[in-house]
Structure 1
Amino acid sequence: MKKMWAPLVAAAMGWGVACAQTVTLNVASFPDLDRGIKLAIPLYKKLNPNVEIKLTSLAYADHHTAMTTALATGAGLPDVMAIDMGFIGKFAESGGMEDLSKAPYNAGQFRDQVARFTYPLAMSGQGVMVGMPVDIGPGALFYRKDLLDQAGLSEADLTRSWESYIESGKKLKAATGAWLLASAVDIKDIYIRSNLKDGEGIYFNKQGQPTINNARFRKAFELAKAARTAGIDGKISAWSNEWSEGFKRDRIASQMMGAWLAGHLNNWLAPESKGKWRSAQLPGGAYASWGGSFYGIPKKAQNKQAAWDFIKFLTTNKEMQIEAFRGIDAFPSLLAAQNDPFIEQPIEYLGGQKARVLWKEAASRIPAMSVDKFDPVAAEVVNAELEKVLEQNKDIGQALADAQAQVQRRVRR
């Protein structure tokens, strides 16, 4: 460990000497990202003994609600703010975050050192960069190899195409009684994020107009409807108790999410299923980003210099990125960390598969899509309309037209 951190001392000494007085750095985060902060604190303090780091961690939704309120009121703001990809657009447009692309931060110097799709995600429509990427979520398909074997299915049957994926689900259900996926909504969630062109958004175009009533969403709705009609999904929402029980009781045979799901399966969702799960690329040659985390600095933060130094330590230091990769399965945004030999190590939980190599390949092919502050609003509307399609047999064309109109009204652009 001493050898690993030796190269960092010289770079950090300038800050440590300059900071003669003790600085208390307030960091606000959420699980499991907060575990990365906990890993970093003792390592950072060795280099910067005059910096005390106070971590406040709230549940995912509570954290982002609290930070939204703090930005609106200017009260209770931390020095370092963790931001999930799902909220980066909203926070980018809030006007309350420092622009990290400008002096004294000059975050653009690191752009070529991180996954290419991350920087656009952190930008507002006006080009304000509100967060440095710390981890990414290359989309992946996780599946139970033992259940597929029982049904006489192969990985290729799941990944060849979306239609093949759904057909495989029918065979799997007949042979094992297990659902292929927790919810048909999962297909929609992946499909609408897949194979976008650089600069495109999921729900909005560059002019901020909703682009929901189109062929991409129609296909996503059709696939979700086909899965529901085939009876291959459990109608179970992700992160619910029923969802976690589905994994524990061998009721859910596959799950499409970010690569980080492997860690969740191993650590708490289904630790007893070690060796039974595998990872593959998404069906139909799709590549999509599913999650990712950023760190930003509020304009009203008290210790901006110290905050930026700590953020750089978390996001641009190869050793720290690998430490988080090993410790909490956070797939690194830093390319140097992605090229570390650790990528090649087999994952015991996944039957010795070298799955990180697949995730690295997926990360290299994910488009640099844009985000919008109204993405959460659009997602809520789209999910409500899809529910009407799945449960009430609403016409897909009408559902998409209604979703487009509702989003247009709510954003009032």
Structure 2
Amino acid sequence: MNLPLRPLLGVALVSCAAGAFAQQTLTVASFPSFDEHVKAAIPLFKKVRPDVEIKLVSLQFGDYHNAMTTALATGQNLPDVMGIEIGFVGKFAESGGLEDLAKPPYNALQYRDQFFKFTFPQAMNKGGGLAAMPADVGPGALFYRKDLLDKAGVTEAQVTQSWESFIEAGKQVKAKTGAYMIPHANALMGIYIRSNLKDGEGVYFGKNNTVLVNTPRFEKAFQLAKQARVAGIDGRVTAWTNEWAESFKRGSVATEMMGGWLAGHLANWLAPDTKGQWRSANLPNGAYAAWGGSFYAIPKKIGDDKKKLAWEFIKFMTLNKEMQIEALRKVDSFPSLIAATTDPFIDQPIEFLGGQKARQQWRTSATKIPAIEVHKLDPIANEVITAELDKVLQQNKDIKKALADAQQAIQRRIR
């Protein structure tokens, strides 16, 4: 869907110093709820650069990334600063349309050790170039309804000890409370294939575009999802649908595995009335994985004067500890900057999670997530894998056959 960016991308947010006119305008393009970072930053950046007007333009998630894909391909309707969600950063990094922040005048690799180790590789291309700076991260966590687990006589240890114990606990929860353990079985697959990889490995691709799908890791992931479906503990509800949101409001699901940011979504719009009933735990079986994350990039085909200002803004958003903490306070976005996670705010109890100091847990998880490589075809591979898993879950397709078919389909896309 080709969408012209400047005419359609939302309402500009303007902040001008009293009695003066901004001498420069910086256009920042983003999407909900990542655009809330920019809204929070405008008054703070104004203190540093009162001569700069920040113009925020925003589209809904899918339309936005379609528009950015077209803008990068054509060189038309480009913003000065581009927000990118993790699912698209590999594709955009290989597009050739973004500034290489590893090179002068940016020299961004000098800041690499200030960020969690898994963040920079997510935005690096095969040539070692850096396409974007990490703004926030999503340490994987298991969120569970404590009231439902208590009613079922299930402990957190039973849920997190292993993947098999998670499924067994799910059977008990379903039998005692009527609630499903998870919204959809594919969540097990999604977490398992990402967890406990080694630094430098990819989720779907290895060196020289080797496809890693027809492997024991994916076979185990598919087996876990199938076991959950057979056990009747998943609600067959797809994430981000209205039915998914309703399942949290009604208490018809007991757990969900996503990034730490899910706590903010639950508290602010998904299920605010369930305050105090949720808790956060580590993923089952000692797994550590990233789930989500956002970046800022600079398009190549804008003026050099705008590139300089764009880089100043990006450094403000990613390297400024106070700005990183402000994003956490306002949007529940977990900082990518390690120094920001030493702020006392990290240690404060989260009322929605029953007073749990869950951010400490997410900080620990973030230090253990491997630095995996991102491939430009990761989104395509994810679509193929998800489709094949659906055939396993809904049509009882043989797992080995499904993975072999997925391997071939992805290899065809590479060719």
- In the superposition, the TM-score normalised over structure 1's length comes to 0.94
Q: Give yes or no for the alignment of 1:151 onto 2:189.
A: no
Does the residue aligned with 2:136 lie in a helix, a strand or coil? Answer: strand
Which structure 2 residues correspond to residues 295-314 of structure 1 after superposition, within 5 A?
Answer: 295-302=296-303, 303-314=306-317
Offset of residue 128 of structure 1: 1.4
Q: Structure 1, residues 48-86: CA drift from partner, whole Å, max 9, x if none? A: 111111111111111111100111111011100001111
Within 2, Cα distance between the matches of 1:48 and 1:65?
32
* Residue 301 of structure 1: how far off its partner (Å): 2.2
Aligned residue number for residue 98 of structure 1? 99
Distance between the aligned counterparts of 2:174 and 2:244, measured in 1?
17
**Greater mean deviation of Cα atoms: 287-296 or 53-62:** 53-62
**Aligned residue in 2 for 1:405:** 408
* Cα distance in structure 1, aligned partners of 2:43 and 2:29: 17
Tell whether 2:368 aligns with 1:365. yes
**Structure 1 residue aligned with 2:85:** 84
Matched, 1:336 2:333: no
Counterpart Cα distance in 1 of 2:72 and 2:363:
35
Alpha-carbon distance between aligned partners in 2 of 1:207 and 1:307, rounded to the nearest angstrom: 34
What amino acid does structure 2 have at the position aligned with 1:29? Answer: S
1:281-304 per-residue CA deviation (whole Å, 9 max, x = no partner) reads 000100000010100000012310
What are the superposed Cα offsets for residues 6-29 of structure 1, whole Å, 9 maximum, x if unpaired? Answer: xxxxxxxxxxxxxx9811111110
For residue 266 of structure 1, give the secondary structure of its aligned residue in structure 2: helix
Please name the residue that 1:12 is paired with: none
Counterpart in 1 of 2:264? Answer: 263
Q: Structure 2 vs 1, CA of residues 21 and 253 (structure 1 numbering), >3 Å: closer, same or farther?
A: closer
2:225 pairs with 1:221:
no
The answer to which of 135-144 and 48-57 deviates more is 48-57
Q: Secondary structure at 2:257's aligned position in 1?
A: strand
Structure 1 outlier segments of 4+, above 2 Å: none
Question: 1:349-364 maps to which residues of 2 (within 5 A)?
Answer: 349-364=352-367
**Which position in structure 1 is the counterpart of 2:69?**
68
Alignment partner, residue 7 of structure 2: none
1:236 aligns with 2:220: no
SS at match of 2:300: coil
Q: CA offsets, 1:287-338, max 9 Å, x none? A: 0000101000000123100100000000000000001111110000001101
Partners of 1:289 and 1:251 lie apart in 2 by 26
What is the distance in 2 between the residues matched to 1:334 and 1:21? 30
User: CA shift at 1:207, angstroms?
Assistant: 1.2
Match of 1:193 in 2: 194
5+ residue gaps, structure 1: 1-19
For 1:263 and 1:83, how far apart are their aligned partners in 2? Answer: 20
Distance 1:316 1:206 in 2: 31
The answer on whether the counterparts of 2:22 and 2:53 sit within 8 Å (CA) in structure 1 is no
Kindly report which structure 2 residues correspond to 1:127-166, keeping only aligned pairs within 5 A, or say none: 127-166=128-167
Which residue pairs with 1:327 in the alignment?
Answer: 330
In percent, how many aligned pairs have the same letter? Answer: 64
Q: TM-score, normalised by structure 2?
A: 0.94
Question: For the Cα contact (< 8 Å) 2:189–2:225, is it kept in 1?
Answer: yes
> What SS is found at the alignment partner of 1:182?
coil
In structure 2, the partner of 1:6 is none
Partner SS for 1:201: coil
